[in-house]
Amino acid sequence: MSQATQIDKVNEQGLVVLGCGKMGSAMLKGWLDAGVQPSSAFVVDPFPSSWLLELQQQGLHLNKTLPSTAAVCVLAVKPQMMGVATPQVQALAKGQTLFVSVAAGISLDVLADTLSTRTPIVRAMPNTPAAIGKGITALIGNCICGEEHLALAEALLQAVGSTVRLTDEAQMDAVTAVSGSGPAYVFYLIECMTAAGVAQGLPEVLAANLATSTVSGAGQLAQSSSEGAAHLRKNVTSPNGTTAAALSVLMHPQDGIAPTVDQAIEAATLRSIELGKTSN
């Protein structure tokens, strides 16, 4: 079924969002832009934003009695709060409602134990560019999920960017480390490039503009090109030129960026695993 058909299904049967902080709000905005009607959405959040409060005027159900069933229930609370928060949507876990969890580290088995073993559950990991429709979300379903459940989850998640399906849930911790946490690494790179530009005599506003636009443009070029990142890097590296001089530092085998990135991704992966254990 098309995304429009899936959105129609959500409008007919309802959408429940448990937790609507930054990520939950980013996804909800994308869904509303894609055609989900505010009157079809039920949001549970103890500290609603002014945006959510305003959406009530358009029909959004905020902290109201939930429907007896819904097409989808999105679990967007922090991992540490999942055990406390899920009882609020427990009544929906009867098999008819698809649950989509975006909580880092919490496995499908733990979610099934918390909700119901007969409940279709999709575990997903989006990232913050979802706020502008440029996110990427990795997803995988439990054994109850059929193709129709995965298609419904994809239709919703593609409203805030692209999606990829995983073949093994064990991959989710690394996904969390690479793409879930990844935007923060890129923002820090922009910070570092800006500070380095200032150190070389550029005004801060100019350095920030140059760094931000360069990272954004390079990312779009890498995404649109059929050539890999390594090939694109070589294309802009003239022998004995300025880029080569910089890369000789960045690509140093001991002190370069690769060992640091390896350590960072490993640290994030291990933390995702730890979050899963503490949620049991």
Q: How do residues 174-219 score in pLDDT, each as one tens digit?
A: 999 999 999 999 999 999 999 999 999 999 999 999 999 999 999 9
Q: Is the pLDDT of residue 19 over 80?
A: yes
Q: Are residues 105 and 160 in the same domain?
A: yes
Asked if 74 contacts 24 with a C-beta cutoff of 8 angstroms, the reply is yes
Q: Are residues 119 and 186 in the same domain?
A: no
User: Last residue of some domain: 175, 190, 221?
Assistant: 175
Q: Please count the structural domains in the chain.
A: 2
Q: What is the pLDDT of residue 279?
A: 62
> Which residues have C-beta within 8 Å of that of residue 146, sequence separation ≥ 6?
120
Average pLDDT for residues 129-140, to the nearest whole number?
A: 93
Q: Are residues 7 and 90 in the same domain?
A: yes
The CATH number of the domain where 236 resides is what?
1.10.3730.10
Strands (E), 47-126: 61-62, 72-75, 98-101, 121-125
The CATH number of the domain where 160 resides is what?
3.40.50.720
Q: Are residues 202 and 273 in the same domain?
A: yes
User: Last residue of some domain: 175, 192, 212?
Assistant: 175
Q: Name the band, by pLDDT with cuts 50, 70 and 90, for residue 274.
A: confident
Q: Are residues 153 and 200 in the same domain?
A: no
Q: Is the pLDDT of residue 1 over 80?
A: no
Q: Are residues 160 and 187 in the same domain?
A: no
Average pLDDT for residues 69-82, to the nearest whole number?
A: 92
Q: Is the pLDDT of residue 131 over 70?
A: yes
Q: Are residues 192 and 163 in the same domain?
A: no
Q: Is the pLDDT of residue 80 over 70?
A: yes
Q: Are residues 101 and 130 in the same domain?
A: yes
Residue range(s) defining the domain that contains residue 254: 182-278
Q: Are residues 15 and 123 in the same domain?
A: yes
Q: Are residues 86 and 202 in the same domain?
A: no
Percent of the chain with pLDDT over 70: 99
- In terms of Cβ atoms closer than 10 Å to its own Cβ (0-12, 13-18, 19+), residue 151 is middle
Q: Is the pLDDT of residue 280 over 70?
A: no
List for the chain the helix, strand, coil content (%; round to 5). 60, 10, 30
Q: Are residues 171 and 187 in the same domain?
A: no
User: Last residue of some domain: 175, 206, 237?
Assistant: 175
